[in-house]
Amino acid sequence: MDPKKTRINILGTGVDSIPRHEALQKASQFMTSLRSHHIITANSLLILEAQKNPALHQACQKASLVLPDSAGVSWAAITLHASRLYRYPGIDMAFEMCGIAQSMNVPIYLLGGEPGISKNAARYLYQQLPRLVIAGMRDGFFQERDEKSIFDDIAQSRARLVLVAMGMPKQEIWISQRWPHLPPAVYMGVGGTLDVWAGKVNRAPPLVQKSGFEWLYRLGQEPSRWKRMTQLPKFAIKVITRRF
């Protein structure tokens, strides 16, 4: 997992500055590689967490791609470096990667979420991508002693894309720390993406998505996220302080 040279520093975390088509091209190449790759989509909260969480910071450093997942990160790039970052929401990246997997006829694996979520998410994916091969799935309720059986299941499935829904930062750290034991594939933490695909949570309307306020819409559906969202002003203050 060699870091790429296309990264710009956002409060200590390197984020790749590449257009969407290039990110997808790299993802396609990763899926045909004989080695594993880790893709991280970074929002403002992840970058703040990485400042105080060495394990997450290391995961970002080692990842094959770290893509900007929020308007806040794109704004920080302009403020700090006068550079444009192409915002790429993780849910969109995950879906388009599934589309690539379908076109290449390579299997995928869904890991994480509450019991039943991955099955309902798979139903949605089959509706949208009828030829997609979902070779395996497993909910996120397992113990460390169960992990070897999960690794074996992924290996036997021959999946080349594994979507891991454990929430940030657990999913990024889990992938990074289990790296020596993970079968070759592209691993990507997708947070609440499976919940959206499963119909448990509604995604914001397209206009809200484009405006960069999808997080606010999500907060309206899940008030329990409020405490985390109160960290966003801290991100803005740190960026402005670093700039001036």
Structure confidence by residue, pLDDT tens digits, 133-158: 999 999 999 999 999 999 999 999 99
**φ/ψ bin of 210: left (φ > 0), alpha (ψ from -120 to 50), beta (otherwise):** alpha
| 8 A C-beta contact, residue 232 and residue 44 | yes
Q: How does the average pLDDT of the chain come out, rounded?
A: 92
Q: Which pLDDT band holds residue 244 (cuts at 50, 70, 90)? A: confident
User: How is residue 75 written in tokens?
Assistant: 């704004």
- What's the first-to-final CA gap in the chain, in angstroms? 34
State residue 2's pLDDT score.
45
pLDDT in tens, 96-145: 999 999 999 999 999 999 999 999 999 999 999 999 999 999 999 999 99
105 DSSP assignment: T
pTM: 0.91
Please give the Cα distance from 105 to 129 (Å, whole number). Answer: 11
Which DSSP helix (H) or strand (E) runs through 109? strand 108-112
Q: pLDDT tens digit string along 190-219?
A: 999 999 999 998 877 777 767 666 666 666
